[in-house]
């Protein structure tokens, strides 16, 4: 337990509490689970709300200042008061705008808060001390140079550090609990004028939160921002709506990420951040085409996926001279070493002939054969452009995830979306359904084209879809019709990702599911467009990695 007063929002009047000599600290929750919160609150409370409950319970916090930002903050007041027995918990009303009337309202509410704190703590307020705290230097030098802005909902140190680690540019924390820069009140002769000026300063922070700029439909101006990572929280309606308002605003490219304020899914988060970083900052690297003795140089790309590991060896003239596709098995490193050895053997080469190796895929950072790893988003884009230069949308359905990538005419990533949260619409989904139908995947791929009657599979959740399939089998429905229903369900989910991204022809399909003609046909129907499926579809990521090893991320495409 501590005497500090904790707060959750950057509109909390910290300087006011400095006027009491009270120490304040921002709650920075990153719990591993929501065991306590699930037991005492509604399951649909946003991830941040649950994380606050967990943190308050785990650390025995008894003094908390909430700001009345949304329903969740009001529910937090009820739950924490009732379930965790707080000594001091206060919900500060917060206006949505920074006009004269709102400033007056906030000034009156700040006075009420000060009176409540005096009653609770017995401490007296000294407005001169508060003024002193207002004049502390809160300069943000990162904002004056090219940087990446982490914006959106409550970020916290965990997210901020994760984002900082993935970008070469400095990152500013502009989330609703991030940077807090207020202009110091200038001419306060007494306590009364302090409250009026301080309320105005709080409401007019230089980088306002969504609640203050929410009606503008655009992010606050940030001339040096080269990219924006926009954070939304699971079950938070506000920031998801806000993203829809601002996503088309002119300015820096935007990547939306969602977390539940726990460290879960940090692997997928890193892939998204890395892919975005690669689109902002394509490195230029070029391998010498001949060695010192004049011999041709080779590069390799290794794609370590959750289901298969693919390797490609490429010569200096961009010809694939060796390749291999093997099951990943239990260890990513062993699978990668085996796939590369097989590709080298096919090319009649040894490791010493390779000038450069680039790894990609979920296991890319755990393979240990090189320090050069690039996300599968960039590698698939590069490989797809190589295999089909006029492709503008890549559809990659792999073992555990599916992604849609929009390309420009040089094969650079314009934007991408990923479904990596569950098996719905992925190769794994089809694999499990093939098992339920008791047939190999290859047969399922062929049989899906022979359907006669339209069957709708209503659920994309693997568990529910499986029971639907079992019922259809029990009703003697033809296997071909069931498979077609499943193919249409996968195609519908993927087509909606493509639609969300604004992807258009020419479409190219990569990844293992591209080998399934039933899914490809269903997807063509949903998209209303032909899809090009190269014979190297499954090697596309490894080909992209080998090309990047040869030419750098910009390449000479």
Of 322, 272, 329, 330, the residue nearest 302 (C-alpha): 322
Residue closer to ligand SF4, measured from CB, 8 or 491: 8
Q: Which residues from 88-147 bind ligand SF4, rule CB under 6 A?
A: 94
Structure-block tokens of residue 209: 């939160």
Identify the residue among 56, 228, 236, 312 touching ligand SF4 (CB under 6 A): 236
The CB-of-96 to ligand SF4 minimum distance in angstroms stands at 9
Residue closer to ligand SF4, measured from CB, 232 or 487: 232
Residue closer to ligand SF4, measured from CB, 75 or 506: 75
- Degrees, nearest 5: CA angle 358-429-456: 135
Which alpha helices (H) appear in 122-236, and where do they start and end? 127-134, 156-166, 191-203, 210-213
The CB-of-218 to ligand SF4 minimum distance in angstroms stands at 16
Please, is 515 exposed, middle or buried when counting C-beta atoms within 10 Å of its C-beta (0-12, 13-18, 19+)? middle
Rounded CA gap, 63 and 489, in Å?
A: 51
Residue closer to ligand SF4, measured from CB, 67 or 402: 67
Angular region, 327: left φ>0, alpha ψ -120 to 50, beta rest: beta
Identify the residue among 153, 320, 434, 444 touching ligand SF4 (CB under 6 A): 153
Q: How many helices (H) and strands (E) does the chain have?
A: 19, 17
Rounded CA gap, 17 and 92, in Å?
A: 13
Identify the residue among 17, 238, 298, 386 touching ligand SF4 (CB under 6 A): 238
Identify the residue among 36, 46, 201, 339 touching ligand SF4 (CB under 6 A): 46
Phi, psi torsion values for 553, nearest 5 degrees: -75, -30
Query: Is 160 a binder of ligand SF4 (CB under 6 A)?
Result: no
Rounded CA gap, 498 and 418, in Å?
A: 10
Rounded CA gap, 263 and 250, in Å?
A: 32
Phi, psi torsion values for 397, nearest 5 degrees: -110, 110
Residue closer to ligand SF4, measured from CB, 233 or 546: 233
**Under 8 Å between Cβ of 44 and 236:** no
Cβ-closest position to ligand SF4: 176
Which residues does residue 393 pair with via DSSP β-bridges, in sequence order? 406, 507
Residue closer to ligand SF4, measured from CB, 27 or 542: 27
Rounded CA gap, 337 and 387, in Å?
A: 25
Site string (161-190) toward ligand SF4, x via CB under 6 A:
---------------x--------------
Binding range to ligand SF4, per CB under 6 A, among 63-71, 110-118, 413-421, 539-547: 63-71
The CB-of-212 to ligand SF4 minimum distance in angstroms stands at 7
Query: Is 49 a binder of ligand SF4 (CB under 6 A)?
Result: yes
Q: Which residues from 203-232 bind ligand SF4, rule CB under 6 A?
A: 209-211
Residue closer to ligand SF4, measured from CB, 41 or 553: 41
**Under 8 Å between Cβ of 150 and 229:** yes
Identify the residue among 5, 6, 7, 10 touching ligand SF4 (CB under 6 A): 10
The CB-of-102 to ligand SF4 minimum distance in angstroms stands at 13
Query: Is 154 a binder of ligand SF4 (CB under 6 A)?
Result: yes
Binding site for ligand SF4 (CB under 6 A): 9-11, 46, 48-49, 67, 69-70, 72-73, 94, 153-154, 176, 209-211, 233, 236, 238-239
């Amino acid at each position: 337990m501590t005497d500090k007063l904790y707060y959750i929002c950057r509109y909390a009047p910290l300087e006011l509490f400095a006027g009491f000599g009270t120490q304040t600290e921002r709650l920075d929750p990153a719990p591993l689970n929501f065991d306590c919160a699930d037991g005492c609150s509604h399951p649909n409370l946003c991830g941040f709300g649950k994380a606050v409950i967990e943190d308050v319970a785990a650390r025995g916090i008894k003094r908390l200042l909430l700001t009345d930002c949304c329903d969740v903050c009001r529910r937090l007041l009820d739950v924490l008061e009732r379930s965790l027995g707080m000594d001091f918990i206060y919900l500060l009303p917060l206006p949505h705008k920074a006009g004269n009337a709102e400033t007056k309202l906030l000034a009156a509410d700040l006075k009420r808060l000060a009176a409540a704190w005096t009653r609770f703590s017995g401490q007296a307020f000294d407005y001169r001390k508060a003024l002193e705290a207002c004049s502390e230097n809160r300069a943000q030098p990162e904002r004056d140079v090219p940087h990446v802005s982490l914006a959106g909902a409550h970020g916290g140190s965990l997210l901020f550090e994760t984002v900082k680690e993935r970008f070469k540019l400095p990152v500013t924390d502009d989330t609703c609990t991030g940077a807090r820069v207020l202009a110091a009140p200038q001419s306060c002769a007494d306590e009364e004028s302090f409250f009026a000026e301080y309320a105005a300063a709080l409401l007019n922070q230089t980088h306002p939160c969504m609640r203050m700029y929410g009606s503008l439909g655009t992010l606050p101006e940030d001339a040096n921002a080269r990219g924006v990572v926009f954070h939304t929280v699971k079950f938070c309606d506000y920031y998801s709506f806000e993203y829809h308002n601002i996503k088309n605003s002119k300015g820096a490219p935007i990547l939306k990420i969602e977390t539940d304020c726990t460290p879960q899914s940090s692997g997928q988060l890193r892939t998204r951040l890395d892919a975005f970083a690669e689109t902002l900052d394509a490195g230029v690297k070029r391998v010498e085409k001949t060695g010192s003795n004049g011999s041709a140089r080779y590069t390799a790309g290794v794609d370590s996926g959750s289901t298969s590991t693919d390797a490609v060896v490429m010569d200096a003239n961009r010809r694939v001279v060796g390749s291999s596709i093997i099951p990943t098995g239990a260890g990513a490193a062993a699978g990668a070493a085996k796939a590369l050895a097989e590709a080298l053997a096919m090319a009649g080469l040894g490791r010493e002939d390779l000038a450069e190796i680039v790894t990609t895929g979920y296991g890319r950072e755990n393979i240990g054969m090189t320090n050069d790893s690039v996300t599968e988003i960039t590698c698939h884009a590069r490989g797809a452009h190589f295999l089909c230069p006029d492709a503008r949308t890549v559809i990659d359905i792999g073992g555990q995830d599916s992604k849609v990538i929009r390309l420009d005419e040089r094969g650079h990533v314009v934007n991408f979306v990923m479904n990596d949260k569950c098996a719905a619409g992925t190769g794994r989904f089809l694999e499990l359904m093939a098992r339920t139908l008791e047939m190999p995947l290859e047969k399922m791929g062929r049989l899906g084209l022979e359907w006669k009657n339209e069957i709708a599979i209503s659920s994309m959740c693997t568990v529910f879809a499986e029971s639907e399939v079992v019922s259809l089998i029990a009703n003697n429905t033809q296997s071909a019709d069931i498979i077609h229903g499943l193919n249409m369900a996968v195609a519908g989910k993927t087509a909606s990702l493509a639609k969300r991204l604004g992807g258009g022809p020419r479409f190219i399909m990569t990844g293992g599911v591209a080998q399934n003609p039933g899914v490809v046909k269903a997807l063509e129907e949903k998209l209303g467009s032909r899809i090009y499926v190269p014979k190297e579809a499954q090697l596309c990521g490894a080909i992209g990695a080998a090309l990047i090893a040869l030419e750098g991320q910009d390449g000479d495409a």
